[in-house]
Amino acid sequence: MNRKVLRLGVCVGVVLFAVEGLAASGPSILERLGKLLGLDKGSMARVTRPRSAADCGWPVKGTSLLKLDCDAKTESLLWRCEECWSPVSVGDAGIAVIRKDGLWLVEAPEKARKLVDGPGFVSLLGLTVDGGKSLVVVRERPEGGRPVLGLVDLSTGAFAAAPTQPATNEEAKKLGHVRPASLQGTRLLSPVERGGKQCGAREVRVEPERGKAKERLCEFQPVPDAGSWDRFDPAWSGDDVVYVAKPLD
């Protein structure tokens, strides 16, 4: 009887080892994320770039959410958020952005409402490919540990873990380097380096595909009577650009 139990235990162990091996050799976290967002491997590579936490801090938090009209070349204030980060367009619904107390939706200038209550949101990645009904987010686990991919239903504000999860701590770290909202078609928003740091920008550029010249989109025009700003994490909103900003020190 003990030999049978031993053999059974060995068989179960072999099966579990084989399943874990298959999981580990499966698609990377960026490939799985790309499927949720409808982006191919090349596009995911373009929107994934290391951030210098030592120089810039991560996440970079602004005191206001701003919008740049690229045709008129004018900047306008959307919301005085006090402390917010990782803006992303959610189509006609407005602009989603994170604060430490939850996920907020800015529906119109100075008109914001809390979509999901609670801390732990790390970054917003974009709308799902299935008609944009859900927003893909990165959120910390309440019990601690590595952050996970999640989906927020834009109509109800319900949060649920995404069906695909980071396999390793190393893969989870890559989620902080991904900014799909900066890509529209082949046009990738790229903040201009200032002072040797990829931090605040004085203008927006479009970084083209390899082998093509970089397109200068437009310089920022200051908000009237608002002083000088540092601007971070630009994202497309239709033909306009949104980002968080804070006054220069």
Q: In this predicted structure, what is the pLDDT of residue 124?
A: 94
Query: Which residues of the chain carry a pLDDT beneath 70?
Result: 1-27, 49-58, 144-145, 164-169, 173, 191-229, 248-249
Residue count of the chain:
249
Q: In this predicted structure, what is the pLDDT of residue 75?
A: 83
As a whole number of angstroms, the distance between CA 121 and CA 100 comes to 8
As a whole number of angstroms, the distance between CA 83 and CA 79 comes to 11
Domain residue ranges of the chain, discontinuous segments joined by +? 27-247
Q: What is the DSSP letter of 91?
A: G
As a whole number of angstroms, the distance between CA 243 and CA 123 comes to 13
As a whole number of angstroms, the distance between CA 204 and CA 220 comes to 7
> CB within 8 A of 202, min separation 6: which ones?
192, 194, 219, 220, 231
Q: In this predicted structure, what is the pLDDT of residue 96?
A: 97
Q: In this predicted structure, what is the pLDDT of residue 136?
A: 93
pTM here is 0.78
11-38 residue pLDDT tens:
433 322 222 332 344 667 778 888 889 9
Q: In this predicted structure, what is the pLDDT of residue 156?
A: 92
Q: In this predicted structure, what is the pLDDT of residue 69?
A: 86
